[in-house]
Structure 1
Amino acid sequence: MQHVFVIDDEQNIRDILEKYLKKEGFIVSTFTDGAEVLSALETIEPDLLVLDIMMPNVDGLELLRRLRKYSYIPVIVVSARDEELDRILGLELGADDYLTKPFSPRELVVRIKNLFKRMNRLEKNHSSQEITVQNVRLNKKKRLLLVNEEEMALTPKEYDVLAYLLQHSGQPFTRERLIEAIWGYQYVGDGRIIDDLVKRLRKKMSDANAQAKIATVWGYGYKIDEEG
């Protein structure tokens, strides 16, 4: 059985989600803020977090920021505010999905199940643990990106985008397809999140003297240029 952490400072939301998720067959632990979760993570490794943004003490974004320094546990962020900045920040920090309150428990369950299915599918489709394109080497098992055998520091979503492009080297993808592949749902926006990530990746790759490049396919999207 898969173990889900529900983190929200509103007791009625915790109670409703706990009841509904248990009915769907999940093991559920609930927490009121990020500090409690950080303590619990020292002894328990859940399969997924449902994480509210607005909480006392350690809020959701700060918890996500700390978590992504050492863990890639799937995270679905929820928030009472439907602001694009919050959504983009949450996704860039490494959230796998984003829901705006109020939402139905049924929709949350669908998102959770789809996320687990997507993770399993990606693992099956890309069983090779290493991919090399010129002097760039991707070690998927350790989630490392090496240029000339030197590690390049990346945020979680920078790694995910670059890893996806490297795994399909030479194949162009639209911004929408990249968003769907990385976050697993149709992001409502103008694709700026991908453009910003690519801009940062290009600078880091240039600084590291990476021979592989992220090329713009005009009027379409991006791809890895195998010719450098």
Structure 2
Amino acid sequence: MPTILVVDDDAEIRDVIHMYLRNEGYTVIEAQDGIEAVDKTSSTAIDLVILDVMMPRMDGIRACMKIRDISNVPIIMLSAKEEDIDKITGLTTGADDYIGKPFNPLELLARVKAQLRRQSLLGTDTSSVLIEVRELVIDKQKHIVTVHKMPVALTPREFSILELLASHPGQVFSPAQIYERIWNEAAGYSDNTVMVHIRNLREKIERSPKEPQYIKTVWGVGYKVE
């Protein structure tokens, strides 16, 4: 049965979720903050993460971003915040679903099953060194990109941006997130810096850069690979 990581600083909430999941036969691992969640995701085979947003030491948004650096495991965000902007923030940082507190445990359980079923149908192999998006192929090990079997010369940063986006199909990354992950700088990013690299990438991999088929713009939010 799948192993589910439940992350919440409230022990009572963890206990309730644990009980419902255990009754369905799932293996449950618990963490009480974001730092512990990232550690357990990197050291244990996790099939799904239920992640609270408001936590000490490292909040759920930051933990979600770090988990996405190492895994494509489904993530369901759990938070007392129910404003649209909070949901958007959670989903654009890598979460697959979002449910507000207080929640119905049976609804949460249904969403867990839906995400696990979706992941099973996708059959994602996160350990593969090849990423294939239609005619675009990225060899992570050899640092080679081909489009229609023709090699494309990319700079190291262009390659890293493309790999980041293609490794998380459908997930939207803001310019700030791309800058932070690729340049390894938390502050001082420039939307223009990321935009220039995206434009250069499109010139190299797209048949028509003005009508991109691979790197899509989500206006007002960021970029994604479909």
TM-score tier (shorter): 0.5 to 0.7
Question: Identity of paired residues, percent?
Answer: 29
5+ residue gaps, structure 2, are: 125-129, 147-151, 176-191, 216-226
CA distance in 2, matches of 1:155, 1:53: 27
What is the root-mean-square deviation of aligned Cα atoms in Å? Answer: 3.6
Structure 2 counterpart of 1:88, which letter?
Answer: I
Corresponding residue of 2:166: 159
Query: Structure 1 residues 132 and 223, CA, compared in 2 at 3 Å: closer, same or farther?
Result: closer
1:10-25, aligned counterparts within 5 Å?
10-25=10-25
Runs of 4+ in 1 over 3 A off after TM superposition: 128-133, 144-147, 158-161, 193-196, 200-205, 213-216, 222-225
Corresponding residue of 2:149: none
CA contact (8 A) 2:8 2:55 kept: yes
Corresponding residue of 1:206: 199
Q: Is 1:6 matched up with 2:13?
A: no
> How big is the shift at 1:39?
3.1
Query: Structure 1 residues 42 and 202, CA, compared in 2 at 3 Å: closer, same or farther?
Result: closer
Query: Structure 1 residues 80 and 214, CA, compared in 2 at 3 Å: closer, same or farther?
Result: farther
Corresponding residue of 1:55: 55
CA distance in 2, matches of 1:23, 1:120: 21
Q: Deviations over 1:54-81 (max 9, x none)?
A: 0011111111111122221211111100
CA contact (8 A) 2:50 2:78 kept: yes
Corresponding residue of 1:170: none
Structure 2 counterpart of 1:98, which letter?
Answer: Y
CA contact (8 A) 1:51 1:60 kept: yes
CA distance in 1, matches of 2:15, 2:65: 26
Query: Structure 1 residues 70 and 43, CA, compared in 2 at 3 Å: closer, same or farther?
Result: closer
Instruction: Report the 3-state secondary structure (helix = DSSP H, G, I; strand = E; otherwise coil) of the residue aligned with 1:153.
Output: helix
CA distance in 2, matches of 1:71, 1:79: 22
Instruction: Report the 3-state secondary structure (helix = DSSP H, G, I; strand = E; otherwise coil) of the residue aligned with 1:98.
Output: strand
TM-score (normalised: structure 1): 0.65
Q: Deviations over 1:157-195 (max 9, x none)?
A: x4378x5xxxxxxxxxxxxxxxxxx58xxxxxxxxx799
Instruction: Report the 3-state secondary structure (helix = DSSP H, G, I; strand = E; otherwise coil) of the residue aligned with 1:36.
Output: helix
5+ residue gaps, structure 1, are: 164-181, 184-192, 217-221
TM-score (normalised: structure 2): 0.65
Corresponding residue of 1:43: 43
CA contact (8 A) 1:137 1:149 kept: no
